[in-house]
Amino acid sequence: MRRGRATPSPRRPGGRAASRRAPRGTLGRGRAGAMLTSRTFLKRTRAGAVVKVVREHYLRDDIPCGADACPLCPVRPDQPLGLEARPSGAASGLCPGPHYLLPDTNLLLHQIDILEDPVIKNVIVLQTVLQEVRSRSAPVYKRIRDVIGNPEKHFYSFTNEHHRETYIEQEQGESSNDRNDRAIRVAVKWYSEHLKKIQNEENEDIQVIFLTNDRNNKEKALEEGITAYTCEEYIKSLIDNPDLVDRLACVSDEGKEIESGKIIFPEHVPLSKLQQGIKSGIYLQGTYRASRDNYLEATVWVHGDAEENKEIIIQGLKHLNRAVHEDTVAVELLAKDEWVAPSSVVLQDDGQNEDDIEMEEKKENILKISVNKNMLRPTGKVVGIIKRNWRPFCGMLSKSHIKEARRHLFTPADRRIPRIRIETRQADKLEGQRIIVAIDGWPRNSRYPNGHFVKNLGSAGDKETETEVLLLEHDVPHQPFSQNVLSFLPKMPWSITEKDMKYREDLRHLYVCSVDPPGCTDIDDALHCREIGNGNLEVGVHIADVSHFIRPGNALDDESAKRGTTVYLCEKRIDMVPELLSSNLCSLRSNVDRLAFSCIWEMNQKAEILNTRFTKSIINSKASLTYAEAQMRIDSAAMNDDITVSLRGLNKLAKILKKKRIDNGALMLSSPEVRFHMDSETHDPIDLQTKELKETNSMVEEFMLLANVSVAQKIYDEFPEFALLRKHPAPPPSNYDILVKAAKSKNLEIKTDSAKALAESLDKAESPDFPYLNTLLRILTTRCMMQAVYFCSGMDSDFHHYGLASPIYTHFTSPIRRYADIIVHRLLAVAIGADSTYPELTDKHKLADLSKNLNYRHKMAQYAQRASVAFHTQLFFKTKGVVNEDAYILFVRRNAVVVLIPKYGLEGTVFFEEKDKPTPKLDYNSEVPSLTVEGTTLCVFDKVKVNITLDASNIQHQKIRMELVEPKILASGVPAHLSTEMSSYNEPEKKKKKLQQSNSKVE
């Protein structure tokens, strides 16, 4: 019988349907075609009280089944149909006829990789299942929503909880899980009955196949006459797609253990007991950070504000207890007599004898070499996992040597992730390919976790494949912008209207210019300087008005917030905003009218600020210059045009501003930055050199810093609780140990009690015989720094920026490439009355959450950029044969040193031990610090000479091999080659207290 279509009810303001409440627990008519019931559930408040909540719940009879052209269902234009009238898809030996698939919650959670495969089509996703997935895994929920939104997949979301014939009440004594399982089975039966009434052209009944890996649920379904299979049964039945079996997640660990069955790891404490233990103080909760240099060591950063035991060392396989990098874990502190020191040994897992636990124990003993008692740190063991942070991992297959074996080890690109055991029939095809693998579980009797194959990315070494890997490994959102996002861009041709001019100042008459690196198309900022009548100077920083185009809360704004920052790779830019904005409408290109947000100062000749004002503006840049072109104008006596005069005025003031900052204690740090010169046809690097900075680089930087400080003060004055600011915490004194010791070894004193004292002692740390020493000290100082972070002023009390010696700071000057700047623009616009506010802008909790994401995205962008440099460095040396260069020792380890080659900005770990070769006599002195190899002593900052070659024998972790030429180590048995690993995909280890490893400025 064809159901009547429901008539829409009157709407309340805000779009919610008006209704009359039915008596509690009863059914009543709420509107035509719908019935009203109520749902009761218990909810815990923030204060811990339990309250009973009763909500109205509409039941409808006009919700369609989703099958195309179903004659029994009403047509609803607001709800797109997903299922094909005659289901197409992979041929199944179990279900030869046309069929739809209906998975339960656990199957969807664990087998999302299968469901995303193009072969799997015509799937019914119940509301019950979606709601459970949403509460249990936000990433999987987003993935299934994306699949449902893909018209080619024919997935349909059926609102069974609001359909009169599929909604069920929870029975007395029935658990929520059992009620939901029953609701799913009721929906499957309804679909089966419903589809029997539809006859297709071939008069074949369309079956609904229930997919579940829950044994009890499957048994009940079969008893009720439902066709049900496990995921594995169904996927193995697909006649033409045998490779799809590789993508099955291993949900049960039965049969997947290593053959010996020997228990390797302690049992994890159940979650309920962990929570009790954390509450009582027996256990500590924190984030697990694996070491990149030593697979038998990790650090747990304890959550909370307590200073004591903030960082706990974990050493040894059993104590690591199956935790994976970035998991949230519970740890138990060991007795003080069991505490250890952070290891100076570099140990990497070769994965060749996975059953040889005795060998692992021997390696663990190496870590326990006697150490200074002052070096001992709080030490613990992982007792349980609170939350897994597993993600799909990129890497390569280490094919088993056993002929026709299906079980192989997968080696992740990131050395902090353990090897993963997978089953695949495609080993021959996947060898030499970059692939993605997901972890399914880690049983107690398995040396490595179990997982499954997800996707083949392409050949290892291929430039596009490697770029894709580094973007995925560093979680950089890089998919093309969706049509929904692009729909919020201005329509072309675009021009400035009278409406746009409201609240704006016309500054097109000013001689404004931009100064940027060569080839820059996303020009955020422009400058001007001119004399005014009273002998003072007017200086303006004009920033692209991106917030005019990106309005709060739409899809374009949401996508920009998610991306957080533009990512600059060696040959590619991953934009935060679509190209129409980044390279065109927002970019302050020359000789076109552009909307800007201007910060204008009146200054005297001593660069003292007499007046500051902020205004939305319209500008017309008179020149887009590179740093070199701007420098040439400043230096050329023959050039005296308005732009050149403006640049000279800016440069003069910038020098004064910089001196003031340094006098206040601002740090001038150093880090090698490299530039590649690419072949115009192959796009391979043909030259590599460190970037040369000019006066104009410093000139632009000074005015950007000044604008950021001025805007920070303004938005904080107006919004003391809601200002988005940036701070740079002072490093703890222990961070400077390595710097102080290294300087002392050269008879220099570095004072670290304040930024000013540090800056002054760095200025004095000169050696006439060793001019590069000061640069090395500044590079080392950069490594001691904390990471600068965004925060909301209402959630913190420490605003100080240590590196810049500024009491307050923010980011305002780069809104095309940083989302933080867009928020700051919005705050400033409201502060000067140029725009209206919105709720999220004055919600400090939401701003704190936003800051957290921005800090994460900025960190990942830095790591991705560094990985891109590493990969292109390898490409450069690939064709160079042997290169002989000077190098300096930056760090000394127990069995390795870290060297820097200034010419290339190349840095890496140099090992003094090689597998299957005699170990040389090594004597490590942590106080100097120095390492003596067979009588030859190597100290921090020593100059050495090396021969550089690329070792591509391990395509995943290619190495720059360095042969030590000077000083020559004569003793036999010493490795002839020292290797510095330049893996393109490993983030730097998060050193003590989150040491900043970035090549970027602390700004």
Torsion, Cα 416 422 425 431, to 10 degrees, reads 10
Is the per-residue pLDDT at 970 higher than 70? no
The listed range with the strongest mean pLDDT (458-467, 619-628, 961-970) is 619-628
pLDDT-derived band at 948, boundaries 50, 70, 90: confident
Instruction: Write down the CATH number for the domain with range 881-966.
Output: 2.40.50.140
Instruction: Confirm whether 271-387 and 392-460 share one CATH topology.
Output: yes
CA distances from 165 to 189, 226, 856 (A): 10, 17, 46
Task: Quick: pLDDT tens for 423-481.
Answer: 888 888 998 899 999 999 899 888 899 999 999 999 988 889 999 999 999 999 999 99
Whose CA is closest to 287, among 266, 307, 311? Answer: 311
Mean pLDDT is lowest, of 625-634, 639-648, 762-771, for: 762-771
pLDDT interval class at 993 (50, 70, 90): very low
How far CA 665 is from CA of 232, 711, 760, 790, in Å, comes to: 65, 21, 8, 22
Ranges of each domain in the chain: 54-247, 271-387, 392-460, 483-678, 881-966
pLDDT at 522 over 50: yes
Residues 6+ apart with CB under 8 A from 308: none
456: phi then psi, degrees, rounded to nearest 5: -100, 125
Q: How confident is the model at residue 169 (pLDDT cuts 50, 70, 90)?
A: confident
CB-count exposure of residue 884 (10 Å: 0-12, 13-18, 19+): exposed
pLDDT on residue 766: 84
> Residue 715 corresponds to which tokens in the numbers above?
């938005």
Cα(160)–Cα(59) distance, integer angstroms: 9
pLDDT over 60 (residue 357): no
* Residue 184 confidence (pLDDT) above 50: yes
The pair of three-digit structure tokens given for residue 273, joined into one six-digit string: 């007991």
pLDDT computed for residue 559 by the predictor? 95
Could you report the per-residue pLDDT of 13-33, keeping only the tens digit for each?
333 333 333 333 334 444 445
Highest mean predicted confidence (pLDDT) among 23-37, 53-67, 258-272, 590-604: 590-604
Backbone angles phi, psi at 765, to 5 degrees: -80, 75
pLDDT at 367 exceeding the cut of 80? no
CATH architecture, range 54-247: 3-Layer(aba) Sandwich (3.40)
Average pLDDT over residues 705-710: 96
CATH 3.40.50.620: does it fit domain 392-460? no
CA–CA distances in Å: residue 366 to residues 282, 346, 763: 30, 10, 41
Model confidence at 916: pLDDT above 80: no
Residues 732-758 have pLDDT tens digits of 888 888 888 888 888 888 898 888 888
pLDDT class of 111 with cuts at 50, 70, 90: very high
The CA distance from 848 to 723, in Å, is 10
User: Cα–Cα distance between 828 and 838 in angstroms, integer?
Assistant: 13
Q: Give Rg (Cα) of the chain.
A: 32
* Adjacent-strand bridge partners of 300: 288, 312
- Do 312 and 286 contact (CB within 8 A), yes or no? yes
Mode of pairing for the β-strands spanning 789-792 and 724-727? antiparallel
For the segment 406-414, the average pLDDT, to the nearest whole number, is 89
Average confidence score pLDDT of the chain = 83
Tokens (6 digits) for 59? 């039941």
Per-residue tokens: 643? 């732009």
Confidence band, pLDDT 50/70/90 cuts, at residue 258? very low
* pLDDT for residue 344: 65
Give the mean pLDDT of 521-539: 93
Residues sharing a CB contact under 8 Å with residue 635, sequence separation 6 or more, in sequence order: none
pLDDT tens for 376-392 read: 889 999 999 999 888 89
Assign domain 271-387 to its CATH architecture: Beta Barrel (2.40)
